[in-house]
A and B are shown apart, each in its own frame.
Chain A
């Protein structure tokens, strides 16, 4: 069975500082990897995804994540955060060829302080 572990439940950081949100997964078969963001009282928005190819994937708002197969990790990073990045971030996996059964991590609450 697949599982996802987000190593930090909360990450406080000052504005313009770098941040890393950690995600490890467990699976005996190939998976696709995703990061979703959830703002208060909203649904989930796809931040970025790894399906295949380059192990470094980027989003349009400055986040990036690197797939590391040997360490089964997919950590999310941003070199300089803004107040507006305050949200909950979820790492998720799905079996390659699986039907939309996303397995989510418990989430990391990113709090950006001025």
Chain B
């Protein structure tokens, strides 16, 4: 069974631009969640989607948004990029999204904002 696939693996953007990251979950998994990983703040929850509905959201500004498609694939978008948005963005999928359904992570997209 293929794992969680994130594209692209690396991105370099300029301040003020916007970016879209993509995530394909494990086949059959309906929950997709996103995390930001930085050296200073560690791993922080961005949002979680299940059946195209956002069920949970972390403490990030509105510049961070996401969506989920009917095939469970998900995208996250960051508009008006800031230097502080440079991070590893991790996507994770699970069967149900319930706490007892463990997350499976992709290898991440490393975003560098210059």
Contacts and interface: CB of A to CB of B under 8 A. Distances in A.
Given A90-B43, A100-B56, A107-B42, A44 B98 contact: no
A46 B104 contact: yes
A101 interface: yes
Contacts of B76: none
A103 B92 CA distance: 14
A100 B97 contact: yes
A43 B33 CA distance: 13
Given A99-B56, A101-B58, A102-B45, A43 B102 contact: no
Interface string A25-58: 0000001101010000111111001010000000
B72 interface: no
Contact of A101 (B45, B101, B106): B45
Query: Interface residue tally of chain A, by bracket?
Result: 20 to 34
Contact of B105 (A43, A101, A103, A107): A43
Nearest to B108: A43
Contacts of B63: none
B74 interface: no
B55 interface: yes
Interface string B4-48: 101000000000000000000000000101010000001111001
A105 B44 CA distance: 10
A95 B99 contact: yes
B42 A104 contact: yes
B90 interface: yes
A41 B98 contact: no
A94 to B, nearest CB: 4
Interface string A74-114: 00000000000000001010111111111111110000000
B100 A100 contact: no
Contact of B107 (A32, A34, A43, A90): A43
Contacts of A103: 45
Contacts of B44: 104
A41 B50 contact: no
Interface of B: 4, 6, 31, 33, 35, 42-45, 48, 50, 55-56, 58, 90, 92, 94, 97-108
